[in-house]
């Protein structure tokens, strides 16, 4: 199983792929040491370059093949909906639940199972009262990502007054 390690401001991110280079999951390593994966095949390099661009302040969208075989139909609906939430914006678990005619708790559980945090931006979902809720990469990472995205939006030429 091919794996790529990327050093980012939130720590070392591990990208796991199947033998066809479809992304299986994204995780964060608690290990402080950066394990350089060396040269990656072009299909993996595309995703590595995208994530490096994201962490360099470029609010890009990417269409990369994700392995969705082991994800329930409900979870796919939740992940599809949150994929449309723009960079730097947030919505509540309740908002997602109302759109899908389900409960905020069910939405939270589906997001907990999101194997692709960063690409499917579950960090952009917060509680109705403004609190963060949970995040598979850690609440400190969720807070950092939200603040980071807002700061990047503020710096974009179209946002300056």
Give the catalytic positions in this structure: 122
Task: Residue count of the chain, please give it.
Answer: 161
- Rounded CA gap, 74 and 135, in Å? 19
- For 73-112, letters b (16+ CB in 10 Å) and e give eebebbbebbeebebbebbbbbbbbeebeeebebbbebbe
**Alpha helix stretches (DSSP H) within the chain:** 42-54, 73-82, 93-100, 104-112, 139-155
Tell which residue, 48, 58, 54, 56, has the closest CA to residue 26: 48
């Amino acid at each position: 199983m091919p794996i790529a390690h990327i050093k980012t401001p939130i720590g070392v991110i591990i990208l796991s792929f199947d033998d066809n280079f479809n992304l299986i999951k994204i995780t964060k390593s608690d290990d402080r040491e950066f394990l350089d994966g060396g040269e990656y095949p072009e299909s993996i390099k595309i995703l590595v370059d995208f994530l490096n661009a994201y962490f360099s302040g470029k609010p890009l969208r990417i269409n990369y093949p994700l392995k969705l075989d082991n994800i329930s139909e409900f979870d796919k609906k939740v992940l599809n909906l949150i994929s449309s939430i723009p960079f730097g914006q947030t919505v509540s678990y309740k908002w997602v639940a109302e759109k899908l005619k389900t409960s905020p708790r069910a939405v939270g559980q589906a997001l907990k199972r999101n194997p692709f945090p960063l690409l499917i931006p579950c960090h952009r979902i917060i509680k109705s009262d403004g609190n963060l809720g949970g995040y598979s990469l850690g609440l400190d990472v969720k807070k950092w990502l939200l603040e980071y995205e807002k700061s990047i939006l503020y710096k974009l030429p179209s946002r300056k007054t």
